[in-house]
Amino acid sequence: MAEQSPPYWVLISVLFSSQPLTPTLAMTLHQAAFELYRRGDAEQRVAGDLLTGTVRNLRKDVQMGSISGPAFEAEIETERGSGTVRFLLTRQGLEMMHAQPEAPPTPPRPRYLN
């Protein structure tokens, strides 16, 4: 049996959206934000059948009640017009995805010749 991905409402918590979010749109934003979080990047373009836009890593953690996680913002264009989405990746969702930010590469140690 194929492994199913966790439902989007476990992975992402929307703080504000000026556009209605479908499950597909929420998962697209989650995937872009997850990659930004994992790599530690600041911004990523998204494009597809349903939307185009930019997702930005706000590089801060937020908490809303008992839900907390890294915060993101997306400027999107959909068939319903342009909009803004502010959301966070939930800690529970990150744990389910086994996510940890990639460590920056360590510089090589200097070699000394004696």
Quote the pTM value. 0.76
> Per the domain annotation, does 20 fall within a domain?
yes
CA–CA gap between residue 77 and residue 84 (Å, rounded): 9
Contact 88, 67 (CB under 8 A): yes
For the chain, what is the domain count?
1
Query: Which tokens sit at 100?
Result: 């940890």
> Per the domain annotation, does 19 fall within a domain?
yes
CA–CA gap between residue 70 and residue 90 (Å, rounded): 7
> Per the domain annotation, does 39 fall within a domain?
yes
Burial 33-61, CB ≥16 within 10 A → b, else e: bbebbeeeeeebebeeeebebebbbeeee
> Per the domain annotation, does 35 fall within a domain?
yes
Domain region containing 39: 8-96
pLDDT tens-digit profile, the chain (114 residues):
445 666 666 778 888 999 888 888 888 998 999 999 999 999 999 998 888 999 999 999 999 888 899 999 999 999 889 999 999 998 888 888 775 555 566 677 767 666
Q: Return the SS3 of 79.
A: coil
> Per the domain annotation, does 114 fall within a domain?
no
